[in-house]
Structures are given as C-alpha cells and as structure tokens.
A and B are shown apart, each in its own frame.
Chain A
Amino acid sequence: MGKTFAEKILARKAGLKEVVPGQIVIVRPDHLLTHDNTAPIISKIKEELDEYGIVDKNFPVIVLDHVIPAANEKTASNHKKIREFIKRHSIKNFFDIGTGICHQVLFEKGLALPGTIVLGSDSHTCSYGALGVFASGIDRTEAASLLLTGDTWLKVPLSIKITLKGKIKPPVSAKDVILYIIGNLSASGANYCSVEFHGDLEQFSVSERFTIANMGVEMGAKVAVFPVDDITLEYLKGIGIKESSYKAVWSDKDASYSKELTYELSDIPPVVACPHSVDNVKTVNEVTGIKIDQFFIGTCTNGRLKDFEVAAEILKGKKVASDVRLLVLPASRDIFEAALKENIIDTLSKAGAVILPPGCGPCLGAHQGVLAPGERCLSTANRNFKGRMGCREAEIYLASPATVAASALYGKITDPRVVSYRI
C-alpha cells in the first residue's frame, strides 16, 4: 500500500520506517515561525531562556509584521523587546518591520523548502504547502516550548486528495478556486486532515498555489500541499536555492485517502464569500450590486505582483467610485518594489488607492483599515469573521483581486468578467 505526503514526511522526520494515520510521532521541525507574538512568547519562558537559552539560533524565524509600524506604546515596547531578544540570542533569521508579511518572507528568503517541516504560531503557516512543505499552525505556548527544546508531537493526519481538472477561465483565479472548494467542503470539511492538490497544476504559479494553500486552514486542514514540479524548481532557482539543498516528498500513486474529490476548473465562476463565514460562498452574480464602503487588495493571501497586475489592468486610467476607499497592501517590500518598477503602484495610486506597509494589521482589525458600524468591506484577505476588521457591526466579503478591483470602480460588487469585456 502506498503512502500519502503526510505519512511519508512524518515517517522520515520521526526516523521511522512507516507511520499510520492517528499515530503520534515526535519531530524536530526545520524552522519555527513567530512574529509580533514573540514578545508574549519570551515572557512565558523568561527564566528558562536565562538558564538554557534557545535550542538553536538558526531554528526560529522571526518577522515583525502584525502591528507595523507600531501603533502605540504597548506594541512599540513589544517590538523593542523582540529586537533585544534577537541580539541577546544571536538569532539569525530576523526580519524587522517593512520586510513583509511573515509567510511571504519565508517564501522569498528560502526558509520554507520542499520536504521540510515548518511550524508557526500563526494559523496561515499552512501557506508553505505551496512549496511542498509540511507546514502548520500552533499556539504561542507551543512556540515557546519549541524555542527551548526544538521538538514536539504531531498526530499523523488522514489525507484528502483534491484533483483540479481542466483550465480556469480568467478573470477567474486561484482565489475563486479555493473559495469555491471551501464553499463546497465547508469550514470544517478538512478538519485535522492533510489536503493534497493533484491534477492540472501547471497553470498555477507558485504565487497562486500560495493563495490556495494559505486558505487550507479555512476548511480546517492541518496542511494543504502541492507537489514539487518544474514551476516550484524554477521559483526556487530564482531565489538562489539549489536543488541539492532540499529533498522533496510526494505521495505514492496508490496512497490511501479518506476522501477523493475532483473539481472541473472551467465550471468555476468568480465567487464571493459572504458574511460571516468563509464557507458562505456565492457566485458573484448572486451578490452583484451590494454596496461596499471599503475595498482591500493585498494581504498574504493576494498581495503578490500578479494580484496587483490584475488590479492595475482593470483600474488603469480610471478612478474608483467617488464615495469609497481602496486600500492596497503588498505582501512584502520586494513585491512593493517590483510593483513600483512596473508602474503598478503609480496606476493604483492614481485610481485612488491608499498604499499600506506590508503587514497584517487591517486583516485582523489590529491596526489600520478598521471598519465603522454598518460598513461593508470587499477584501482579498482570507477571513470574514464577525468583528475581524475591528468592528462587530461591519460586514466583510471575500473575493479575488479582479473582483475587488472591478467592484471598486462602481462602489458595489461587480462581476469582473463584465468589466474585462468593457476594457
């Protein structure tokens, strides 16, 4: 009997010949991600850090991104405390404010490599599955323990095989595909499972696979993972990573799954996740015309160059509706600079966009872009929970960059296919 991705990688990392779903294994992840929450993490283990130090200075990856630049004295003090901790323990992989959103930074810096395990005290750590990484979220307490010991337990998950068949029809994008799947499977449809993507994947760039893997947790997945193919190899080569520096893992052809699903991509239309849950998915036609106050393009889900290219193409030479706001948030400095070079930032700014620093604040209502009671936001982010953008009497709708950009022109939810035809 063949083995799944999760079974193979966990067996390898646990030093066992084979493992089965439900089995608990002890592993040493290759990296531990923490961000602004490093401050409360180190407070928990102050005495232990003094006595034992951290397990390995190459092990943690720490990115300041959640409330950047600092919003108040408390968050500024947290950042200061983290910078002092970095110096004191000579931590190698530290990225200060402005570098980018943690998940994008791990991608760009070659810290999420195929065949490795990365755990992070952030639920969207599952994004690295785009590069064939076993990547999953944990809480702050577990991150604290990992900083000291470097190891933890993992239960071998059941696996779900999702086959993506055929070709998407632009302006339908990877975002529509994953929202459609979550709408179909439900917010708990992949709970505790490893979700493997198979099928016609060559049409999806690493950026688009990132969008899909990023939202794995929104259906409860432990990991959401893609195979390593020529597109992955090309991306890694582009950031200076040699093929010899990692060992990819993928499932056997005769592996056993708890569920196997196939989606015909040409059938998927532009979709919108409606308030207040990510699986409340409707076709754009069902919600066309809903008035929106704030539009938000960016985040770790959809803040990469291609996302802004799509938006800029729709907004070029035009202005967003007069009574709305458009926020644009690149996922990293590298992306911001690339977008500057391509005049995309200029196009979006002239269309009326406010350009934000590469961080997570607006997504979770922690910093910038907060909504007022009664307002609606159409966003490319990954969550639309009640209160998520700082106000429980506001509504959040989720969609692709094309749908958000097209809708911003009219101030209401608009089918991007209609706007594309008009261009």
Chain B
Amino acid sequence: MKIWRYGDNINTDMLFPGKYTYTCSTPEEIKPHILEDLDPAFTKGVNEGDIILAGKNFGCGSSREQPVVGLKEVGIQAVLAESFARIFYRSAINQGLILIECPEAVRAYSDGDMVELNMKEGEIKITGKSFSFPKLPTEILAIRKAGGLIAYTREKLKGKNYTNY
C-alpha cells in the first residue's frame, strides 16, 4: 500500500481536467486521466488499496464527479485530508468513496509512516499513534450501506415509501 501525499486546495481540474468533462463519463474512460495534471506518476503507478493524504480543501472547484468516480475506479482505499470541499464530500458519499477528515492525523504523518484505518471504530493509526474521527450520521451511512446513492435510490423506489431515510 502506497501513501500519495498532496498539499492544500487540490482542485477538481488537477484531479480530472475539465477538457475531458464532456467526453469521458464512464469509469473506464475516466481512469487514464485521473490526476493527470497534478501527478502523472499517480496516474501510472496507483494500486488497489492505496491511500491519498492531503491538506485543506481537497476537491475544491467544479461539481464534476469524475475525480471521485476515478479515484474509486483505481482502487483508492480512502482519502485522508485536513478538510474537503463540500460538493466533493457529497459526491464521495454518493459514489461510496471513503473520505476521512482528520487534520491531526494528517499533520502527524511523516514520509514513510505506516497508516492503518479502522472504519468501524472511526480510528486511524499513524505508525502506532492513534487518532479518532467522527462517525457519519445515520442518513449518510444508509447511502453507503446501500452501495452508493443510485443503489440507495433504487431501493427507495422499489419500497415506494421513501419519504424518510
């Protein structure tokens, strides 16, 4: 497992260039361009289970969902950041990509440290030192449990009684 480390304000154009927004929509089309303008080494070298560790305001900018879909497609286990931009955060819930907002853990990390995630307990360990992060509200966990928002919506429509989450 590799940790890919980036700074503050990593925007959606760095994550997925706008020029492809209306020609690439499926996970397969998105994959070759993920992080293309930020870090070509990531595009070539990312592996299933890798983690991204970033600073403040990760995912700021456009509402395009290709960054989230692409990170999920290449198998990113989680994005750990000091903070996230809201549309990106919401989109990650919809796609089932794990985001963890934990500034203390990000600041504690040094190159080469081991990172272990325990989603059930809401805990992250950086070379043995442990940090906790808040669990998601039940409304949001329900979307994740269903396997993303489209799957969740399908269940709602089938149930026909979907006024409450």
Contact = CB atoms under 8 A, between A and B. Distances in A.
B127 interface: no
Contacts of B139: 24, 153
Interface in B1-37: 8-9, 11-14, 17-19, 21-23, 25, 37
Question: How many A residues touch the partner, as a band?
Answer: 35 or more
B114 interface: no
A388 B153 contact: no
B147 interface: no
A74 B22 contact: yes
Nearest to A22: B137
A64 to B, nearest CB: 11
A392 B61 CA distance: 16
Contact of A188 (B22, B57, B63): B57
Interface string A61-72: 000001100001
Contacts, number: 144
Nearest to A365: B19
Contacts of B90: 138-139, 142
Contact of B18 (A39, A187, A364): A364
B106 interface: no
Nearest to A141: B94
A139 B91 contact: yes
Interface residues of B, number: 46
A62 to B, nearest CB: 15
Interface stretch (A143-151, A161-169, A285-293): A143-151
Contact of B65 (A139, A383, A388): A139
Contacts of B18: 364-366, 387-388, 390
Question: Which of B56, B60, B95, B149 has the most C-beta atoms of chain A within 10 angstroms of its own C-beta?
Answer: B60
B133 to A, nearest CB: 16
Interface string A129-159: 0000000011111101100110101000000
A51 B87 CA distance: 29
Contacts of B25: 39-40, 43
B30 to A, nearest CB: 11
A251 interface: no
Interface in A356-403: 364-366, 370, 383, 385-388, 390, 392
A340 to B, nearest CB: 29
A30 interface: no
A385 B56 contact: no
Given A192-B86, A387-B17, A66 B22 contact: yes
Given A145-B149, A366-B21, 7 more contacts: A72-B23, A122-B63, A138-B63, A139-B63, A141-B65, A191-B85, A277-B11
Closest 9 CB pairs of A and B: A364-B18, A188-B57, A139-B91, A40-B25, A139-B65, A385-B13, A365-B19, A141-B94, A387-B37
